[in-house]
Every structure is written in structure tokens, then in C-alpha cells.
């Protein structure tokens, strides 16, 4: 074996647990709201619970290298199950709890799972449905046995009973457990995570203890995460981020992981826990801001005035203070007063008042949205990562936070941009391999350890920050040879509330054009306030005043795109507003609401043609699918508008 | 009749808990219930069905002792029951929900369910007001039971919400919660699915079956939705114009000619 480390090296998660049980024995490791109050477990108790379950696994005959799947919402018991599996040398495989039975069957079969730790009847039923086809699966360990009184007992185990069996057999099995623990090292597989398969089947990403521990170590130091920090674990356990935040970093630093009472109570529980370390995708922050805005519109005039006055000042002062820049005394005083009256209480209501380190990632975040949270004094930053990298590729350092970049390389990460603009990285966190899929492994990771991200981006010369432009496969060139990245422009357009969705075209053409979908809620609201009558989506979309408004938005985006050295060629010269919303039922979007560019280009070839042939309007007929599956057709005459473009900053290509 | 029987899904149903012997209930000149006899057994889900005005709700009120029948005998736990005072009715271990939700609209979900514990509380008005000694410990103990009910019904998110603001389906669930908090031996449900959509009905059916399965609670329910009744009930009593026209398993009832006539109508000659 290559695992020749001493037992007290901190190179596996179970070893971190053993250390925490000694060093932080009486400090809270887990909290969960149940029966209306926060229950908590100290590190010493956590150690005992995990050990009992690990011994229980041994009584079931779990062998080193077996895969144990875990499916449930964020609860301490499932985090324990992961570490208990690691303790006996098995590999934990967390699954998405909303996955349907067939998806689960694929993963369970692919990793030859021997046991599944499942939350409740709902999950157990799904697994039982597919169990006959899974030869390797020997049993299901259920946490909540209710409703399953009459189930076949030979394959179904109770989580707590299994722990008790473990405790009872401790004297016999402790030696075996100690041996399993001693046999592990940095090369032992720590966890296997399945990436959601947008293209083809999900792939099992194998992450070693070295990947996980090195990542945890580097990033905890980067953000000074310590034992007194805390997080709320609410994102899917099958997602790599949750594993890093709620296990790797939590065990490395010894901080406390809080679990919400249920999915619906998350916002309230967040408020009660008041985490100091917080991650959320941009859409979470967007939803939160919208709810604040709606409630402010319902508030009385005096409160609205207070909010407006102090938020304006905060927008100016808040980010500067976070970045450690100098601010005049008067503004600083006003900010302090605003903090007392508005921003402080608001932060508290949002559950973010104690956040010291906040991250968002996954997609581009609008600058206004980003600045709103920064102006409240929340240290919200961006990171860029993926499962294959144990999350972290780049992240923003305190004081170097910007809305349009994803930061500098994380500790221990090397970056490289290839000739096509694709981002590659090499790090101690980069994955070992895809499970049972050497071909994909070879395609993604070269022998020198460089991993392809599939994203196109570039490194800013002055700041060294990475900027992500688009998916690498979507990036192309315009006829004049300048770079074409549709998503870069689309994101800018979508930051306007009026624009719900947009598709930009221009690969191998002279210039870029765009289809635009208006946001019915925002534009409808605007129409109501301005006494503009309309009877249908189509009529509103084609309204001249709506066109005026969208044109202003497009031109504003053009001005901003023109500022960009590499992408200034992507300004929108002509656009039209689509007469129907792009819809997953019509195959125009994926089920996760991502635009399917090529399908749209084919379906609306006539519109695309008109955008390029200079005509001012086009008559079109489009097939639509109703929710019940029936098909129909709608016709419309669409106006095509030219948009002003701006001088391009020239660069040597 | 034998002492126990086994249901279609394999549960063993115990001895008789409540027996109705030749019940007749009149309101002045109107006879709401006419000479009806049936029993309810330990651990079963017993349904009472019938067209509008058949006397189902009156029957439920006889079962819980709110109405006292002019003729006939009610036997509960092996003893003949006589006319009771309201507080005696409350303490016999029978809890119920109402057809047209009877919650305290301004109070939170938690407080509403807490009222279900009232009959289990011993401390007096003054010690509760002083919040001292036994009263405090008692409230904590009762709150624990209430929280288990909240967890069971998955209504954590609305714990502190005034029930008047809740959608109808949730209000029904809170009402079930209040009944469960009383830890009843016999649970009466008056049209638990009325006015619900399919999904809410499915949820409610699951909760009813889970209550029966988890806590072994005997359940008697009135319901209009035949599909639901046939799915979850072990035995069904069918009433029409105050009379019993059928009694048996869902299958037996479904094939009973009198029942078919009552529901589908029949040509009179």
C-alpha cells in the first residue's frame, strides 16, 4: 500500500474527526432544528455517534472499498453516515433526493452500491422499486421508519438500531475498526460525487482524501475560517459544494454545521442560526432582493423615504468600507446611522447579519444585485469551481471583490488558458478519475494533470483575475476574426428586469443579432403603471413603446460591450422581440431553463434570416405545444429594429 | 361475531371498542337516525357514508356523546354510556375534527394544536397565570407532544402562522393536528377531504393511514369521496334517510344493491 502515513497525520476525514473530538470535545459540531428547538451535538458526541454507526456497518459486513449511497435532506445523521462509511474504508456516494427511481437505479448500479442510507419511506420506496435489478445492493438503512412497519425486514435496517447493534458489539469489532482507520491515507477515496448529466449519463467523480483535505486546508486559511464559524447546510448533499463546506472545511476548522428543520423553514432557520459563512447561488440572492423590494413598495411613505435615503448612501459607502478604502467622515456617519435604522435590521431579517464570508457562484450575478448585498456590508464574493476541482478553481480575495470576475486562483491552483480560450487548471484538489470511465477521464484530464473546464475565459492583465465568458463550445469567431461569445452579451441583457430571456447569434457572421423575450411580470407591471392596454403576451411584446424600452436596454448593453477589449465585436446590431416565450415544452429550453441555441436557430430560421437581410418586419407562423401536449400554431408580424452600436476598442487579434 | 379479524392489507383488528345498539335519534318530530346498530373495533378505519341528509354527522355526534339518543344503547369500552356533561364528553378519549373547520382563526397553528392538550393539563388557572411550578413543567411536556404532532404532519413551516391566513388544506391539517394532540383512543373525522384537490386528498389519506398505523388509533370517518373511502376504510356503514342500508368491507358494500340504488337513484313503481 502507498498509504504510509502516521496515524496522527491529519490526512483523512475520520482523523480530523478524532482530533476534533479531543480538541473541541465540548464545542457544538452539529445543530438541527427538530420539534421546534435546536438540538445540538458536540464533537465528542458526534465522534461517538459516527463510531457507533461505523461499527454497525461492520456488523453488516461492509468491506473496505464498498460504496454506500446516502439519500436524504441535510441532516446530521446523513453527514455522520458519510464519515462512518469513510471510517470503515467504504466510499460514501451522496445522491440527489429528488432524483426519480430510474436515475437512482443508474447511479446505484454504476457504483455497485452495497447499502443505501435513506431518509424515509419516500426514498425507501424508490429504492425498493428498482432493487430487483441491483444485484450488489444488500440493504437499506432507514432513518425514519414510519410507514414501513409492514415492509420486508430482511433488507431494511433501522439507522438507530444499527447504531445500537454497533455499540453492543464494540468490544468485538473495535480492533477491526481501528485497523480499517489505520489502513487509510491520502490516496484513499474520500467521496464519490455524480455530476448532473446535462450531456449524457452522470459521471462519478472520484475525489481522494488528498484532494479534499488539501482543498479544505488551503481555503480555510484563505478565508480565515476557524472553529467559531458556522454554516447552514441547506444545499443538496449530492452537490460537491455541500460536501466541501459542510464536511471538509467544517472538519478541518472544527466549525459547527446547522441543519434546517425542513426545506420550507430554511429562511427562518437561517435567521435563527445566523451563520458566519454562507454560500448561495445568484438566484437565491435575486429572490431575496425581490421580496425585499416588494415589501418596501407596500411600506408607508416615511419608511420608503428612509430606505431610499440610506440605501443610496450605503451603495456608495458599503462596498468601499468592505474593500478597506477611505471614506469621508460625513458619509461614514450617515452610513452608521443607516446601519442602525435600515441596513442593520434588514441584514438581520435576511439572516445575514453575522456573515463574515459569503460566496456566490454557478452563474453570472448582476452587478446591481451584487452591489446591493455588498452595500449592506455583507462580504459577498464570487468563486469559480466545479466538482472535478473539489469546488475551488478561483475565488476573490477580501478587498479584491468585483461583480464581473471570479477572482484569482485558489491556493494551490495553477491556471492556463489554451489557444481557443478554454480554461485549464491543475491543483491538489483536481479529481482522481471518473469512476469506471477511463475514456472521459482521458478527455478531461491530461497526463500532466491539467483539467479542462469546458469554459472559455481569460485572465485580466492588471488584476490577474479570471473572467469567464461562456461555455467553450459556444465561443466562436465573427467574420472579421474577433471573438464571439453569446452568453457574455446575453447575461448583460438579462440583468435588465424587462428581459427574461435572450438568444444572441453571430458565429461566422459580420455582426451579432438577438432574439429577445420580455419578462411579462416586469413589463406587464410597467404597462399597468403607464396605462398601456394590451390583451395578450404577443400584443404587449409587439407594442412600440416596449420596443423603445428594449432598444434602450440593448443600446446600453452595446455601450458596455464596446468597453470590452476582446468582445467589443459582439454588439447587437439588430434585434427583434419574440412573439412567444421560449418554453421547455417546445424544446426551446432545457428542463433547467437553459437556452438550446441550435434548436432555436433551426426553428426560427426565417426570423434569423430576416435579421440579416435588412428587412424591417417579418411575418411568421410558429408551432406551439400546449401543456396537455396538444399542438397549435400562432402567427405574428414581427418588427425588426436596428440598435446603435459604439466604436470598438481595437486590439491586435 | 368473532373477536378479531384480519384486514385486506394484513393488519389484525382487535375487539369491539364501541357498539351502537338500535340507536334512534329524534329532533322533535324529525327522526334523524332510525334503529341503527353497528360496531367499531380496535385499530380499524371505519367509514360512514351516505347521501346528503342521511344522518351521518348526527351519527358522529352520537358516537362522541354530544347527542344522546332517545332509544338504544351506546357501549364504549365494555360499559354502557349514559348521558354526559360536556367536560365528561371531552375526557372520554374521543377527539374529532369538523366538517366546516372549527379553529381559533387568530391563534397560531402551534397554539391551536396546544388547545388539544387542554384535557390533559392538571394545573389550575392561577398557577398557569403565575407561570410557576408545575404549570411550567406541564407546558413543556405538553409542548413536546404537540411538536411531535407538528413533525408528523409536516407543518413546521407554519408553526407560528395564524391559522386564519392558511390555505384551506393546511387548516384541515391543523385541525387533524389538534385532534391528534389529545392522544385519542378513538378519532372521529367529519369529511376530512371535503373541498380538497386531488393532491391534498392524497396527503390527507396518507396522514390518516399513518395515524392508524403509527399510533394504532381507531378511526371513524365520514366522507363523500367514494374513491377515498373505498381505498382507506376497512369497513363501511352506509346510511340513507337515517337508516342503515349496508355494512361491510368496501367490496361488499360496493356490490350491495340497496347501496347502488341509494347512490344512483332507482325508478319507483
Q: What confidence tens digit (pLDDT) does each residue in B113-124 have?
A: 999 998 888 777
- Short-list A209, A232, A211, CA closest to A74: A232
What pLDDT does A1 receive? 40
Task: Give me Rg for the CA atoms of chain A.
Answer: 27
The verdict on A468 and A514 lying in the same domain is no
Over residues B63-105, the pLDDT tens digits come to 988 999 999 999 998 888 888 887 888 888 899 998 888 899 9
Strand, coil or helix: what is A193?
strand
Query: Which residue among B9, B10, B147 places its CB closest to the CB of A35?
Result: B147
Helix (H) or strand (E) holding A338: helix A329-338
Torsion, Cα A425 A427 A433 A434, to 10 degrees, reads -50
Sort out which chain A residues have CB atoms less than 8 A from B150's CB and list them.
35-36
Q: A303 Cβ partners below 8 Å, 6+ apart?
A: A296
A212 contacts A248 by C-beta, under 8 angstroms? yes
Residue A343 lies in a domain: no
In A169-208, which residue ranges form alpha helices assigned H by DSSP?
Answer: 170-182
A91 contacts A67 by C-beta, under 8 angstroms? yes
Give the angle subtended at the CA of A379 by the CAs of A374 and A382, to the nearest 5°.
90
Task: Give me Rg for the CA atoms of chain B.
Answer: 19
Residue A354 lies in a domain: no
Q: For residue A286, how many other CB atoms are within 10 A of its CB?
A: 15
Q: For residue A308, how many other CB atoms are within 10 A of its CB?
A: 12
Residue B98 lies in a domain: no
Residue that terminates a domain, selected from B182, B210, B241:
B182
The verdict on B86 and B197 lying in the same domain is yes
Residue that terminates a domain, selected from A443, A474, A505:
A474
Residue B149 lies in a domain: yes
The verdict on B89 and B2 lying in the same domain is yes
The verdict on A37 and A153 lying in the same domain is yes
The verdict on A271 and A141 lying in the same domain is yes
> Cα distance from B213 to chain A (closest Cα, Å)?
7
**Per the CB < 8 Å rule, is B150 touching A36?**
yes
For chain B, counts of helices (H) and of strands (E):
10, 12
Residue A364 lies in a domain: no
CATH number for the domain spanning B258: value is: 3.40.50.300
Q: Is B214 on the interface with A (CB under 8 A)?
A: yes
Residue of A nearest to B160 (CA): A36
The verdict on B109 and B69 lying in the same domain is no
- Short-list A509, A479, A474, A508, CA closest to A491: A474
- Short-list B121, B147, B149, CA closest to B136: B121
Taking phi over 0 as left and psi of -120 to 50 as alpha, with beta for the rest, A40 belongs to beta
Taking phi over 0 as left and psi of -120 to 50 as alpha, with beta for the rest, B183 belongs to left
The verdict on B85 and B169 lying in the same domain is no
As a whole number, mean pLDDT of residues A585-608 equals 84
Residue A421 has pLDDT above 90, yes or no: no
The verdict on A79 and A218 lying in the same domain is yes
B196 contacts B170 by C-beta, under 8 angstroms? no
Residue A370 lies in a domain: no
The verdict on A133 and A180 lying in the same domain is yes
The verdict on A396 and A496 lying in the same domain is no
Residue A319 lies in a domain: no
Interface probe, candidates A32, A36, A121, A266, chain B, greatest B C-beta count within 10 A: A36
Q: For residue A536, how many other CB atoms are within 10 A of its CB?
A: 10
The verdict on B55 and B66 lying in the same domain is yes
Residue B232 lies in a domain: yes
Query: Which residue among A35, A150, A262 places its CB closest to the CB of B154?
Result: A262
What pLDDT does B133 receive? 74
Q: Is B141 on the interface with A (CB under 8 A)?
A: no
What pLDDT does B86 receive? 79
A478 contacts A512 by C-beta, under 8 angstroms? yes
Q: Is A149 on the interface with B (CB under 8 A)?
A: yes
Q: Which pLDDT band holds residue A80 (cuts at 50, 70, 90)?
A: very high
Domain that holds residue B240: 1-93+184-269
Give the angle subtended at the CA of A244 by the CAs of A19 and A370, to the nearest 5°.
130
Q: B251 Cβ partners below 8 Å, 6+ apart?
A: none
Report ipTM for this prediction: 0.77
Q: A219 Cβ partners below 8 Å, 6+ apart?
A: A225, A244, A249, A392, A395, A410, A411
Q: How many structural domains is chain A composed of?
A: 3
Cell of B253: 358494500
The verdict on A401 and A523 lying in the same domain is no
CATH number for the domain spanning A183: value is: 3.40.50.12780
Residue that terminates a domain, selected from B138, B166, B182:
B182
B250 contacts B233 by C-beta, under 8 angstroms? yes
What pLDDT does A652 receive? 42
Query: Which residue among A35, A261, A268 places its CB closest to the CB of B144?
Result: A35
The verdict on B24 and B73 lying in the same domain is yes
Residue that terminates a domain, selected from B182, B199, B223:
B182
A439 contacts A380 by C-beta, under 8 angstroms? no
The verdict on A454 and A497 lying in the same domain is no
Share of residues in chain A with pLDDT > 70 (%): 96
Query: Which residue among A36, A147, A262 places its CB closest to the CB of B210?
Result: A147
Which range is least confidently modeled, A476-480, A630-634, B22-26, B264-268? Answer: B264-268
The verdict on B190 and B111 lying in the same domain is no
Over residues A358-410, the pLDDT tens digits come to 999 988 888 888 999 999 999 999 999 999 999 999 999 998 998 889 999 99
Q: How many structural domains is chain B composed of?
A: 2
The verdict on B218 and B248 lying in the same domain is yes
β-bridge partners, A621:
A635
Strand pairing category for A113-118 and A139-142: parallel
Over residues A233-278, the pLDDT tens digits come to 999 999 999 999 999 999 999 999 999 999 899 999 999 999 999 9
The verdict on B177 and B193 lying in the same domain is no
The verdict on A468 and A540 lying in the same domain is no
Residue A551 lies in a domain: yes
Number of C-alpha atoms within 13 angstroms, CB side, residue A288? 22
The verdict on B73 and B114 lying in the same domain is no
The verdict on A254 and A232 lying in the same domain is yes
Helix (H) or strand (E) holding A528: helix A520-529
The verdict on A58 and A198 lying in the same domain is yes
Q: How far is CA A13 from CA A88, A92, B43, in A?
A: 12, 12, 48
What pLDDT does A626 receive? 77
Domain that holds residue A421: 379-474
Sort out which chain B residues have CB atoms less than 8 A from A147's CB and list them.
210, 213-214
The verdict on B88 and B168 lying in the same domain is no
Residue B220 lies in a domain: yes
What pLDDT does A649 receive? 59
Strand pairing category for A451-459 and A422-427: antiparallel
Amino acid at each position: 500500500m502507498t498509504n504510509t502515513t502516521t496515524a496522527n497525520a491529519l490526512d483523512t476525514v475520520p482523523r480530523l474527526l478524532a482530533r476534533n473530538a479531543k480538541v473541541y470535545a465540548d464545542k457544538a459540531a452539529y445543530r438541527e432544528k427538530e420539534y421546534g428547538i435546536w438540538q445540538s451535538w458536540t464533537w465528542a458526541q458526534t465522534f461517538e455517534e459516527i463510531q457507533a454507526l461505523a461499527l454497525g456497518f461492520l456488523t453488516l459486513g461492509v468491506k473496505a472499498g464498498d460504496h454506500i449511497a446516502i439519500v436524504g435532506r441535510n441532516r446530521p445523521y446523513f453527514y455522520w453516515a458519510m464519515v462512518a462509511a469513510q471510517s470503515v474504508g467504504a466510499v460514501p456516494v451522496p445522491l440527489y433526493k429528488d432524483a426519480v427511481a430510474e436515475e437512482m437505479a443508474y447511479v446505484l448500479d454504476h457504483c455497485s452500491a452495497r447499502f443505501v442510507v435513506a431518509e424515509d419511506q419516500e426514498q425507501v420506496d424508490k429504492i425498493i422499486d428498482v432493487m430487483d435489478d441491483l444485484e450488489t445492493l444488500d440493504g437499506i438503512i432507514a432513518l425514519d421508519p414510519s410507514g414501513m412497519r409492514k415492509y420486508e425486514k430482511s433488507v431494511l435496517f433501522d439507522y438507530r438500531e444499527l447504531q445500537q447493534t454497533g455499540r453492543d458489539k464494540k468490544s468485538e469489532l473495535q480492533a477491526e475498526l481501528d485497523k480499517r482507520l489505520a489502513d487509510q491515507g491520502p490516496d484513499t477515496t474520500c467521496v464519490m460525487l455524480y455530476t448532473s448529466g446535462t450531456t449524457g449519463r452522470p459521471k462519478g467523480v472520484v475525489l481522494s482524501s488528498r484532494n479534499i483535505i488539501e482543498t479544505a486546508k488551503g481555503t480555510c486559511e484563505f478565508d480565515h475560517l476557524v472553529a467559531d464559524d458556522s454554516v447552514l447546510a441547506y444545499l443538496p448533499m449530492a452537490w460537491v459544494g455541500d460536501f466541501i463546506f459542510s464536511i471538509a472545511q467544517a472538519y478541518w476548522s472544527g466549525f459547527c454545521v446547522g441543519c434546517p428543520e425542513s426545506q420550507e423553514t430554511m429562511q427562518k432557520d437561517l435567521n435563527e442560526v445566523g451563520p458566519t459563512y454562507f454560500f448561495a447561488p445568484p438566484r437565491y440572492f435575486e429572490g431575496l432582493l425581490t421580496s425585499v423590494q416588494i415589501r418596501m413598495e407596500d411600506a408607508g411613505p416615511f419608511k420608503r423615504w428612509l430606505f431610499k435615503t440610506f440605501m443610496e448612501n450605503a451603495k456608495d459607502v458599503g462596498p468601499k468600507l468592505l474593500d478597506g478604502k477611505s471614506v469621508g467622515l460625513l458619509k461614514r456617519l450617515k452610513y452608521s446611522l443607516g446601519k442602525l435604522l435600515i441596513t442593520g435590521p434588514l441584514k438581520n431579517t435576511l439572516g445575514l447579519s453575522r456573515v463574515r464570508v459569503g460566496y456566490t457562484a454557478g452563474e453570472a450575478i448582476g452587478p446591481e444585485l451584487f452591489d446591493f448585498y455588498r452595500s449592506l456590508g455583507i462580504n459577498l464574493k464570487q468563486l469559480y469551481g466545479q466538482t472535478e476541482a473539489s469546488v475551488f478553481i478561483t475565488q476573490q480575495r477580501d478587498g479584491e471583490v468585483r461583480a464581473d470576475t471570479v477572482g484569482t486562483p485558489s491556493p494551490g491552483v495553477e491556471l492556463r488558458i489554451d489557444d481557443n480560450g478554454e480554461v485549464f487548471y491543475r491543483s491538489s484538489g483536481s479529481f482522481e478519475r471518473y469512476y469506471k470511465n477511463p475514456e472521459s477521464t482521458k478527455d478531461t484530464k491530461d497526463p500532466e494533470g491539467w483539467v479542462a473546464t469546458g469554459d472559455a475565459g481569460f485572465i485580466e492583465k492588471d488584476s490577474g483575475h479570471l473572467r469567464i465568458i461562456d461555455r467553450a463550445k459556444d465561443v466562436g469567431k465573427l467574420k472579421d476574426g474577433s471573438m464571439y461569445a453569446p452568453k457574455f452579451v446575453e447575461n448583460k441583457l438579462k440583468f435588465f428586469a424587462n428581459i427574461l430571456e435572450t438568444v444572441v447569434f453571430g458565429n461566422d457572421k459580420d455582426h451579432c443579432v438577438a432574439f429577445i423575450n420580455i419578462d411579462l411580470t416586469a413589463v406587464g407591471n410597467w404597462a399597468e403603471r403607464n396605462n398601456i392596454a394590451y390583451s395578450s403576451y404577443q400584443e404587449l411584446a409587439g407594442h412600440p413603446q416596449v420596443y423603445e424600452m428594449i432598444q434602450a436596454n440593448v443600446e446600453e448593453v452595446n455601450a458596455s460591450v464596446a468597453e470590452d477589449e476582446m468582445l467589443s465585436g459582439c454588439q447587437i446590431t439588430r434585434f427583434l422581440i419574440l412573439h412567444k416565450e421560449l418554453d421547455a415544452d417546445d424544446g426551446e429550453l432545457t428542463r433547467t431553463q437553459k437556452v438550446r441555441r441550435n434548436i432555436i436557430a433551426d426553428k426560427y430560421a426565417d426570423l434569423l434570416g430576416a435579421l440579416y437581410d435588412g428587412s424591417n418586419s417579418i411575418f411568421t407562423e410558429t408551432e406551439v405545444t400546449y401543456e396537455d401536449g396538444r399542438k397549435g400554431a400562432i402567427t405574428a408580424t414581427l418588427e425588426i429594429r436596428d440598435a446603435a452600436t459604439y466604436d470598438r476598442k481595437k486590439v491586435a487579434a | 361475531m368473532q373477536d378479531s379479524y384480519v384486514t385486506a392489507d394484513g393488519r389484525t383488528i382487535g375487539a369491539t371498542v364501541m357498539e351502537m345498539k338500535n340507536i334512534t335519534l329524534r329532533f322533535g318530530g324529525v327522526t334523524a337516525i332510525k334503529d341503527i346498530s353497528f360496531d367499531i373495533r380496535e385499530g380499524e378505519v371505519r367509514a360512514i357514508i351516505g347521501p346528503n341528509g342521511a344522518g351521518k354527522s348526527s351519527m358522529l355526534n352520537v358516537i362522541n356523546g354530544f347527542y344522546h339518543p332517545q332509544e338504544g344503547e351506546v357501549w364504549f369500552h365494555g360499559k354502557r354510556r349514559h348521558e354526559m356533561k360536556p367536560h365528561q364528553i371531552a375526557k372520554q378519549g374521543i377527539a374529532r375534527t369538523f366538517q366546516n373547520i372549527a379553529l381559533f382563526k387568530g391563534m397560531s397553528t402551534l397554539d391551536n394544536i396546544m388547545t388539544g392538550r387542554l384535557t390533559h393539563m392538571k394545573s389550575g388557572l392561577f398557577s398557569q397565570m403565575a407561570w410557576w411550578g408545575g404549570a411550567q413543567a406541564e407546558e413543556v411536556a405538553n409542548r413536546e407532544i404537540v411538536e411531535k404532532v407538528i413533525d408528523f404532519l409536516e407543518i413546521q413551516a407554519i408553526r407560528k402562522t395564524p391559522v386564519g391566513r392558511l390555505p384551506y388544506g393546511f387548516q384541515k391539517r391543523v385541525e387533524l393536528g389538534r385532534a391528534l394532540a389529545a392522544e385519542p383512543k378513538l378519532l372521529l373525522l367529519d369529511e376530512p377531504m371535503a373541498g380538497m384537490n386531488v393532491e391534498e386528498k392524497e396527503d390527507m389519506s396518507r396522514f390518516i393511514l399513518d395515524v392508524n398505523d403509527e399510533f394504532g388509533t381507531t378511526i371513524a370517518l365520514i366522507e363523500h369521496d367514494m374513491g377515498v373511502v373505498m381505498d382507506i376504510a376497512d369497513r363501511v356503514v352506509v346510511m340513507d334517510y337515517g337508516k342503515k342500508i349496508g355494512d361491510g368491507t368496501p367490496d361488499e358494500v360496493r356490490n350491495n344493491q340497496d347501496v347502488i340504488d341509494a347512490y344512483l337513484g332507482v325508478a319507483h313503481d
